Amino acid sequence: MEANEIAAPATDQVISLEGIKRKMKFNGVVKKITIAGAIVDVGLAVPGVVHISQLQVGETKRVEDVVQVGQAVEVWVRRVDPKKKRLELTMIKPLDLEWREITKGMVVKGKVTRLEKFGVFVDIGAERPGLVHISEMTHGYIKSPSDLVKEGDEVEAQVLDVNRRKKQIKLSMKALETPPEPPPPQPSKAVVPEREVEKETTSPPPEPESEPTAMEIALREAMERSNVKFAGVVGVRKRKKRATDQQFEQLFDRTLQNRRK
């Protein structure tokens, strides 16, 4: 027995209209037919009325062409008014989801009815199937929708957007998947400044000392001799200065002695 389905109760059991909601399913029996429709007993406080337009999908010219008195039928609640004790039924299975019931973010289940290059159409029980674009099928890359699903598969999706005027429903399957973790960061390499690299790569290796030429040897010897002569002259000047200082001291001593006398 489907959800919201209620079997016709025994004749001695009567159920009140209180608590009866739209789309609830009943198993009933046709009690009477008229030009406008059929009267069906579903075991409630009052019988339900099925209008001729609600006997089947499409046009119905005569009620008796569809139902007969005493026939067992399946019906669904269209409208109910407990205060007025009115119960309107339909033999046309209602949509699981009507446009006003479809909201953004809700999760729905459905069956894949058609595959296209750009995505798949899913019947979710609404007037129109919803579209899952190929980019909304999974987090990973797929070349074609057939890589992931096939016609007739049952899928679960989330409503991304609904346009009642255009009668369009956009769905997403990947919205219900756990997104993949990002790859770990790669260790960064030490960056060497370009100038240091240039120094390391362009600095020439030290050249080995070359042996002195004959001219360089002669020049060194001449410079050494000049240093010796210069040192001798400096020594003579220092000796002369010391002798002069001694003479000055002797003269100064004699001058002091003469003054004392």
- Determine, yes or no, domain membership for 142: yes
The runs of H, that is alpha helices, within 122-213 are: 194-202
- Determine, yes or no, domain membership for 13: yes
What are the structure tokens assigned to 22, written together?
């739209």
Count of domains observed in the chain: 2
Over the range 101-112, which residues count as b (16 or more CB within 10 Å of their CB) and which as e? Answer: ebeeeeebebeb
- Determine, yes or no, domain membership for 242: no
Rg, C-alpha atoms of the chain: 56
In 3D space, the residue among 69, 64, 70 whose CA is nearest the CA of residue 52 turns out to be 64
User: Is the pLDDT reported for residue 160 higher than 80?
Assistant: yes
> Does one domain contain both 105 and 55?
no
- Determine, yes or no, domain membership for 181: no
User: Is the pLDDT reported for residue 17 higher than 50?
Assistant: yes
Determine the pLDDT at residue 18.
84
> Does one domain contain both 20 and 83?
yes
Find where tokens 């009668």 sit. 167
Last residue of a domain, one of 32, 65, 90: 90
Determine the pLDDT at residue 247.
61
The runs of H, that is alpha helices, within the chain are: 194-202, 214-260
> Does one domain contain both 14 and 56?
yes
Last residue of a domain, one of 143, 176, 209: 176
The domain that holds 78 is classified in CATH as 2.40.50.140
Determine the pLDDT at residue 129.
96
> Does one domain contain both 65 and 110?
no
CB 40 within 8 A of CB 30: yes
Determine the pLDDT at residue 45.
86
User: Is the pLDDT reported for residue 53 higher than 70?
Assistant: yes
Last residue of a domain, one of 56, 90, 124: 90
Determine the pLDDT at residue 8.
46
State how far Cα 223 lies from the chain centre.
Answer: 85
Identify the domain containing residue 14 by its residue range: 5-90
User: Is the pLDDT reported for residue 254 higher than 80?
Assistant: no
> Does one domain contain both 53 and 76?
yes
- Determine, yes or no, domain membership for 34: yes
- Determine, yes or no, domain membership for 199: no
Strand partners, 6: 26
